[in-house]
Amino acid sequence: CILHVFLVSDVRHEYKSALDESTEKVKMQEKALDSAISLVRTDPLTGVKSRHAFVEVEQHFDRLINNKECKNFAVIVCDLNGLKKINDTKGHDAGDTYIQESVKVISDFFPFENIYRFGGDEFIVILEGKDAENRTKLHNAFMDKIDENARSESGPVVSSGISHFREGEDNTFLAIVPFISSL
């Protein structure tokens, strides 16, 4: 009987150790997966969200629209002016700096966490809540800064357009900004 108790105790201890080890491995794998997902969702040059993250948010909005749960939101599409010329004349490092400076200007007016790098020099901003309600005021202030940069030739110049969700009219995210699919 005593021998049986020791054997069962040893086996139970071995199983617990193996379970603890497996649990730790799962935690490490989950942490590595979270890290990989974060890398995929983040643009490495600018730190804003990536095109992959944009596709996910587009699907999220499509679900909300489809379920008639969508609230007011707006989309601003930004295209950096002159990047090709900078890359061709000053090199790609200067072009990267221009992209980073442009994101800084964009994020001065719009929430950084809502900016997505859609392509090389295209960025998309999604505004929700009060920002969506104040979209025209925010966009006008942004364009005033861009106009100032263009006049003084002292900062990035960005072309942009704005659109907003129209309940009952827009049945997908891309209906709001259909030209995104051509970028």
Integer Cα distance of 5 and 25 in angstroms: 30
pTM: 0.81
Q: Which of 51, 56, 103 is nearest to 78 (CA)?
A: 103
Condensed to tens digits (0 to 9), the pLDDT of residues 110-135 reads 999 999 999 899 999 999 999 999 99
List phi, psi (to 5°) of 168: 90, -20
Six token digits for residue 135: 């979209």
Condensed to tens digits (0 to 9), the pLDDT of residues 160-169 reads 999 999 998 9
Q: What is the DSSP letter of 111?
A: -
List the alpha helices (DSSP H) in 2-128.
2-40, 51-66, 83-90, 92-109
3-state secondary structure of 129: helix
Q: How confident is the model at residue 151 (pLDDT cuts 50, 70, 90)?
A: very high
